[in-house]
Each structure stands twice: as structure tokens, then as C-alpha cells.
Amino acid sequence: MTIALLFILYALALSAVLSRRGVRTTHEISVGVERPRTRVLIVGATGGTGRQLVTQALERGHVVTAFVRNPSKLQIEHPQLHVVRGDVLDYGSVEQAVSGQDSVICALGHKKYFYPARILSEGTRNLLRAMETHHVPRLVCETSLGIGDSAGRMGLYYTLFVIPAILPFYFWDKTRQESLISASSVEWVIVRPGVLTNGEKRNAYRHGSNLGSFVTSVRISRADVADFMLNQVSSDTYVGAAPGVCW
Ligand SMILES: NC(=O)c1ccc[n+]([C@@H]2O[C@H](COP(=O)([O-])OP(=O)(O)OC[C@H]3O[C@@H](n4cnc5c(N)ncnc54)[C@H](OP(=O)(O)O)[C@@H]3O)[C@@H](O)[C@H]2O)c1
């Protein structure tokens, strides 16, 4: 009983800390400047969201560079697709891939939950450094509901169990990732999805501030997240903001 109470207090304290760190702004600027097709670098291209990003970016007519650790894992071929092998923690490979792009879309993730890895933040630090060096203007980066002013909005199960018991290091790294992005000089959009599914692309989802629920977990497919992220390449609506996205 005492242990359960202590754990709940710890979970609530962690949620409070996550709410103070990370990006707080979710302002929405409705400028909506549309840009023509662009050269996009997709980081995390072999992942769940990343594969959707590559496929949908090609469908939209973008010239796509997929940044991958293992090219044989991608299994997508297209005349407008370039595959570059690299590791986000290796600045040299990041710089080569970033140079000459119009936008970078980051869907990095990993499964090293149980030790304080900094892959998300240090990888993003390398991306930002290369973007600033080579004047690549825009970064669209996937993080998660539950960070900054969306803390608690993954629902009770995540707030009281999944994040404090399994993902505290991971979420801590995500808050560092968001802080680095917001402190950079690039045009950035942080995209915070709810729980991800491999379900179909519905083309109907909600986005903006104050999304998610403090009680139940909201969901969205990786396909719809990719759709929303790709929209951010050509729209200024959420530049400098961290919208949530969910069904
Ligand atoms: N699961 C959820 O319910 C949920 C909810 C909200 C937000 N999110 C977040 O959304 C993001 C995307 O999730 P996902 O499940 O779609 O992705 P994922 O399948 O976990 O894919 C992650 C990608 O990152 C790549 N990667 C990892 N370390 C790398 C490194 N050092 N250098 C280069 N690439 C590296 C992986 O490459 P390899 O293929 O080589 O491993 C993979 O392509 C994650 O940040 C996740 O935390 C997840």
C-alpha cells in the first residue's frame, strides 16, 4: 500500500517535471504559406512513422533522402528516393545528409528504455547543428504527447504507469530534444502524437493545443501522423509550435 502510494507520488512528480521542461508554446500562427515540392531528408526512415513518411513524401512528389542505419531494411525503391547510410550520433554522416536539403523530418525512436540514453537529444543536436551550418531552414520533429504543456495528456495509464515505470529516461530525453529544438535558429515544428498504431490512414484527425486526455489514452495511426508531419513541410501554421495530433 505504502509502495503503491509512493509510486503514484513519484509518477505525479515526474509528470510535473515533464510539464516544466520541453516546449511550452503551442501557439498557432495562421499564415499558411504553401511551398512547392521540396527536397526532404527523413531521419528514422526505417521506423514505423519513418516508412510512412518516405512513402507519402514520394507520393506528394518530393525528392526524398532516407537517412538509415541499415539500407536493406527500407525496401522502398523510387526514382526520387536516395538512401543514405548514417547514424544520428555521427555528426559527419548527419552533415553529409543534411547539406542541400530544404527540410528535415525527424521520426527518431529507439527501444533502449532502461538506461539514460540520449540518442534522441544528441541526434537532434547533430541535426540542428548541420541545418544551421548548411542553412537548411525547416525541421519537423515527432516527439509525444506527455511533454511540456501536454504533460498528463497521454491518459492515466501512461501518466501513472508507462511513463514513470518504463519510459522515464526516454521521456526525459524527449524533453531535452524539444528544448534543443526550441532554442535553435531553424524554423521548427514539434509534432506530439498520442499512442501510435499501425492502422490505416484516415485523413481525419485533430491537431493543435490542448489535445489528448488526462484520463483515457488517445490514439492515431503512424500513417496519419506522417500525413500531418508532411503538411508541416509546406505550411507555416505551426512554425515555432508543438501541436498535438490524435484521432
Ligand atoms: N509508440 C507510441 O505509442 C508513441 C507515441 C507517441 C510518440 N511516439 C514517438 O514517435 C517516434 C516514432 O515512433 P515509431 O514507433 O514510429 O518509430 P520506430 O519504429 O521506433 O523507429 C525509430 C527509427 O529511428 C531510427 N534510429 C534509432 N536510432 C538511430 C540512430 N542512432 N541513427 C539513425 N537512426 C536511428 C531507427 O532505425 P533502425 O531501424 O535502424 O533501428 C528507426 O528508423 C518515436 O520518437 C516515439 O517515441 C511513439
Mutating to test ligand 1, I would choose from 69, 120, 141 the residue with most ligand atoms within 8 A of its C-beta, which is: 69
What is the spatial distance between Cα 13 and Cα 18, in angstroms, rounded to a whole number? 9
Ligand 1 contact via 193 beta carbon (within 6 Å): yes
The residue length of the chain stands at 247
SS3 per residue for 147-185? CHHHCCCECHHHHHHHHHHHCHHHHHHHHHHHHHHHCCC
**What are the backbone angles phi and psi of residue 167, rounded to the nearest 5°?**
-115, 25
| pLDDT: which is higher, 116 or 3 | 116
Identify the band that residue 35 occupies on the pLDDT scale cut at 50, 70 and 90: low
| Residue 109 alpha carbon to ligand 1 centre in Å | 2
Ligand 1 contact via 84 beta carbon (within 6 Å): no
- pLDDT value, residue 8: 77
Q: Cell numbers of 124, please?
A: 537532434
Ligand 1 contact via 88 beta carbon (within 6 Å): yes
Identify the band that residue 37 occupies on the pLDDT scale cut at 50, 70 and 90: low
| Residue 117 alpha carbon to ligand 1 centre in Å | 13
In which region does residue 46 sit, left (phi positive, over 0), alpha (psi from -120 to 50) or beta (all else)? alpha
Which residue has its alpha carbon closest to ligand 1 atom 14? 48
Mutating to test ligand 1, I would choose from 75, 85, 108 the residue with most ligand atoms within 8 A of its C-beta, which is: 108
Mutating to test ligand 1, I would choose from 51, 70, 111, 196 the residue with most ligand atoms within 8 A of its C-beta, which is: 196
| pLDDT: which is higher, 146 or 20 | 146
Mutating to test ligand 1, I would choose from 53, 91, 110 the residue with most ligand atoms within 8 A of its C-beta, which is: 110
| Residue 1 alpha carbon to ligand 1 centre in Å | 36
Q: Is the pLDDT of residue 156 over 50?
A: yes
pTM for the predicted model, two decimal places: 0.92
What residue ranges do the domains of the chain occupy?
29-237
- Please state which of the four CATH numbers 3.40.50.720, 3.40.47.10, 3.30.30.10, 3.40.190.10 is assigned to the domain occupying 29-237: 3.40.50.720
Ligand 1 contact via 155 beta carbon (within 6 Å): no
> What percentage of the chain has pLDDT greater than the value 90?
85
Q: Cell numbers of 147, please?
A: 511533454
Lowest mean pLDDT among 2-11, 104-113, 155-164: 2-11
Identify the band that residue 240 occupies on the pLDDT scale cut at 50, 70 and 90: very high
Identify the band that residue 31 occupies on the pLDDT scale cut at 50, 70 and 90: very low
| Residue 107 alpha carbon to ligand 1 centre in Å | 6
